[in-house]
Structure 1
Amino acid sequence: MRTMKLGTSNLEVPVIAVGCMRINSLEQAEAEKFVQTALEAGANFFDHADIYGSGKCEEIFADAIHMNDDVREKIILQSKCGIRQGMFDFSKEHILNSVDGILKRLKTDYLDVLLLHRPDALVEPEEVAEAFDKLESSGKVRHFGVSNQNPMQIKLLKKHVKQPLVANQLQLSITNATMISSGINVNMENAAAVNRDGSILDYCRLHDITIQPWSPFQYGFFEGVFLGNEKFPELNRKIDEIAAKYEVSNTTIAIAWLLRHPAKMQPVTGTMNLERILDCCKAADITLTREEWYEIYRAAGNVLP
């Protein structure tokens, strides 16, 4: 699979990340087959979080991949922390304890990437910096990033955090593309899209922070997928038309739409379906034309000013 550098790091990663949030829905044999299928397709970057399945997803993954030193050298592991029952927590103590739990469940000595999950309103950047320094010096975490954060929140962290923030995991799909639309509808009265995130797309591009789109097939928050959905007839007609041209599935085109953006994003899949994960991986070989990208954008109901 085609690869890219993650942020400003020298970490070479596949352009598709395999999200493991739903791996606890699989039986052991199914989980083993899923992981092996992803690896054979060149998708060796696996995304986790300590809250997925209350930690069970990380355990299931480690068992499914038969984690050992040889296996560990061939894969890239990312996990996230900071969400607790009823609160968010970026305290030094919680970050350090969370990473220890993650490493134990994944049966490894280190994470390639650790992301802070959702913004903590009570964040103290000094504590985050202390936690990151300790995790880096101990070798438990090699690279750091954030998730669902806007430019000012990142700047606040960077006031004290010395490590580069290599990734920002953000919700983005064809139907959830306000971070793109707000950049198109500039200085427009009654603009079709409101800038709610401080131009995070441009900020990440300016600072070489890799955007990792999560829920790339979802509309709304978690209302459902847009592919094959009767709520989006025009969009599905256009995607199917372009999919037929490239002789791939609609899944492939939906991911290819994200990969076509010059921000050099790394979409995070969420499917546990073997055929669909392979279709996602095929997107790495598809480059949509500018015309096709905009046709899909407009078919989703986005209006150009």
Structure 2
Amino acid sequence: MKKLPIHRRGIEISPLSLGCMGFGGGWNTGSVTDEHVMEAQQALETSIEHGITFLDHADIYTFGKAEETFGRLLTEKPQWREQLWIQSKCGIRFEESATVPGRYDFDRNYIVKSVEGILSRLKVDYLDSLLLHRPDPLMDPEEVAEAISQLKSAGKVKYFGVSNMSRGQIELLQAYSEEPLIFNQLEMSLAKLDFLETGVLVNHPDGKYLQFPEGTMEYCRLQNIQLQAWGSLAQGLFSGRSVDDQPEAIRATAKRVSELALEKDCSREAIVLAWLMKHPAGIQPIIGTTNPERIAACSQAVDVTLSREEWYSLYVSARGKNMP
């Protein structure tokens, strides 16, 4: 698998990322078992074999067990550390009581403490990148900048970014931080089209129903911010999951994906991901599976080239109506 530079920043990452939310045996309070570690090892071995060396974690995934599972695995195979780009996220806190609800927290001390916990669970000395997971309405950008500076100077995080943030939110943070924010992770897929529709439906009445913040894609491209797509496989809607109970647009798109996969002699997963990667922003899909066969199927995406007409055939099919 070829490597993809992050625009002009001189950093190279694998064009696909392995999402680690499935590590650790599920969203429960059980312990990490040898079976969980073995499952993660099989997923990671397959990923490395196919050139997928960027790992996406978060401190909340399976209540911390995802990172703990990876940490146990890395203890057994320390040689993997320098082969991998390890990213994690922080800022989401779970409900603690009837009066302390689930919330977001970008307090300086909380960010620093979160990273210390992440490093401890992952059994690493530093993160290649840290993302702020979801926007905190009580965010003080000066505090966030202080946390970023502290983590950078301590050598605990190399690069920083955000997740699920708009242009304005990124601009506000960047205005106070000397360290560049170089990632933005957003939900984008054939089933989640607002990242395209926001641009297509400018000056169109249907645009008022969109949820994606206008100008975010363009801003990230102008600022050399790598866009990462979570939910990129749309939970298998177009690559094998039953769509009998889905709207006509989904069924038609699944059929078109299958046709293209047959024509190009590749997996359906590869078509779905190649569609995202065709976008000139250079989107990096995050694949959230631990199934080795599916990881291998996804890796084919880097060798698939869709024509403009093929790309539009999928887009128009998925939107369920002709272009305006």
TM (norm. structure 1) is 0.94
Q: What is the CA–CA distance in structure 2 between the aligned matches of 1:42 and 1:216, rounded to whole Å?
A: 18
Matching residue's letter, 1:225: L
Q: What is the CA–CA distance in structure 1 between the aligned matches of 2:78 and 2:289, rounded to whole Å?
A: 27
Matching residue's letter, 1:247: D
Q: Structure 1 stretch 49-58 or stretch 4-13: which is displaced more?
A: 4-13
Q: What is the CA–CA distance in structure 2 between the aligned matches of 1:162 and 1:245, rounded to whole Å?
A: 49
Q: What is the CA–CA distance in structure 1 between the aligned matches of 2:77 and 2:191, rounded to whole Å?
A: 40
**2:243 paired with 1:234:** no
Q: What is the CA–CA distance in structure 1 between the aligned matches of 2:178 and 2:148, rounded to whole Å?
A: 9
Q: What is the CA–CA distance in structure 1 between the aligned matches of 2:198 and 2:220, rounded to whole Å?
A: 15
8 Å CA contact 1:6–1:167 kept in 2: the answer is: no
Match of 2:4 in 1: 4
Q: What is the CA–CA distance in structure 1 between the aligned matches of 2:138 and 2:208, rounded to whole Å?
A: 33
8 Å CA contact 2:37–2:70 kept in 1: the answer is: no
Match of 1:79 in 2: 88
Q: What is the CA–CA distance in structure 2 between the aligned matches of 1:123 and 1:137, rounded to whole Å?
A: 22
**2:299 paired with 1:299:** no
Identical pairs, percent: 42
Match of 1:252 in 2: 270
**2:149 paired with 1:136:** no
Q: What is the CA–CA distance in structure 2 between the aligned matches of 1:142 and 1:201, rounded to whole Å?
A: 24
Match of 2:99 in 1: none
The CA RMSD measured in Å over matched residues stands at 1.7
Match of 1:154 in 2: 170
Q: What is the CA–CA distance in structure 2 between the aligned matches of 1:163 and 1:116, rounded to whole Å?
A: 14
Q: What is the CA–CA distance in structure 2 between the aligned matches of 1:272 and 1:284, rounded to whole Å?
A: 19
**2:55 paired with 1:41:** no
The alpha carbon displacement at 1:174 in A equals: 0.6
The alpha carbon displacement at 1:177 in A equals: 1.1
Match of 1:31 in 2: 40
Q: What is the CA–CA distance in structure 2 between the aligned matches of 1:70 and 1:16, rounded to whole Å?
A: 21
SS in 1 for 2:135: coil
Q: Return closer, same or farther for 1:133/1:186 CA change in 2, 3 Å cut-off.
A: same
The alpha carbon displacement at 1:169 in A equals: 0.3
The alpha carbon displacement at 1:29 in A equals: 2.0
The alpha carbon displacement at 1:8 in A equals: 5.2
The alpha carbon displacement at 1:193 in A equals: 5.7
SS in 2 for 1:112: strand
Q: What is the CA–CA distance in structure 1 between the aligned matches of 2:276 and 2:24, rounded to whole Å?
A: 27
Structure 2 unaligned blocks of 5 or more: 26-34, 95-101
Q: What is the CA–CA distance in structure 2 between the aligned matches of 1:29 and 1:189, rounded to whole Å?
A: 52
Pick from 127, 152, 158 the counterpart of residue 111 of structure 1: 127
Q: How many residues were matched structurally?
A: 301
The alpha carbon displacement at 1:203 in A equals: 1.3
Pick from 219, 225, 249 the counterpart of residue 237 of structure 2: 225
Structure 1 unaligned blocks of 5 or more: none
Q: What is the CA–CA distance in structure 1 between the aligned matches of 2:192 and 2:16, rounded to whole Å?
A: 19
Q: Structure 1 stretch 152-161 or stretch 187-196: which is displaced more?
A: 187-196
The alpha carbon displacement at 1:237 in A equals: 1.0
**2:19 paired with 1:19:** yes
SS in 1 for 2:4: strand
**2:96 paired with 1:96:** no
The alpha carbon displacement at 1:279 in A equals: 1.1
